[in-house]
Amino acid sequence: MSKIEEKKFPEVFVGENGKKGVKNLEGSIIVPANYDEIAYTYGRMVPKDYPYVAVRDGKMGLVVPDGKGSELTAFVYDNIDMFSSMPYGWLWFQKEGSKQFGIMTIDGKEVMPCKFDSYGAGGQTLYLCSGDRHGLLQTGIGVLLDTIYDDIEVEDPDSPIIFTLNGEKGYVRSTNGKFYPQSLSETMSEDEWEEILDECICDQYDDN
């Protein structure tokens, strides 16, 4: 077994300047030693272009592993981390002393401010809470719903998620983010209602 095969993670190294960077499995520098800390490195399951969380002057930011030290974000974050047990492509962050967290994409774009108190993970879904309000991030199809709902229920991972809005149960269409109350089915044909349900957000989606 070669030394490269023995390694499972890129390694953090310390440069002559005392700063830290990252070398890949072959020993090439992918993040220059310009940072006080590298939060963590990634295993083989993570895409090679996934940015690294680095620390400078006590603040975090995202750095592209391109060998040049290209920075995706300013170093203004108190914390940046991956959502646990979820597909790659989304990160949570905290800044400006907030105890709540926001959401950013893998390219460093903030898509939700620091407003969430907690989250729980489903099949491909993060269930978000802000006080007593609920929302979600469906990572399989890239749909993000703000925390405006009374409640969110999953009866079957492959069936549409049940949302409660202003006391009424219904579903949310993935194509337009619109809420469709269950009572609407009484005014539509079975085929029309089934067409809506086929496009409503589920907890997980088959890869096939």
> Tens-digit pLDDT profile for the chain (208 aa)?
334 344 467 889 999 999 999 998 889 999 999 999 998 877 666 778 889 999 999 999 999 999 999 999 999 999 998 875 455 678 999 999 999 999 999 899 999 999 999 998 877 889 999 999 999 998 878 889 999 999 999 988 888 999 999 999 999 999 899 999 999 999 999 999 999 999 999 987 655 4
**Distance separating alpha carbons of residues 70 and 168, to the nearest angstrom:** 48
The verdict on residue 144 lying in a domain is yes
The verdict on residue 186 lying in a domain is yes
**Distance separating alpha carbons of residues 148 and 141, to the nearest angstrom:** 20
The verdict on residue 130 lying in a domain is yes
Q: Which range of residues forms the domain containing residue 127?
A: 117-208
The verdict on residue 94 lying in a domain is no
- The answer, as to whether pTM is greater than 0.85, is no
How much of the chain is in helix, strand and coil states, percent to nearest 5? 10, 45, 45
The verdict on residue 71 lying in a domain is no
Nearest to 51 by CA among 36, 69, 33, 35: 69
The verdict on residue 63 lying in a domain is no
The verdict on residue 154 lying in a domain is yes
The verdict on residue 189 lying in a domain is yes
The total number of structural domains that make up the chain: 1
Residue 42: per-residue pLDDT = 73
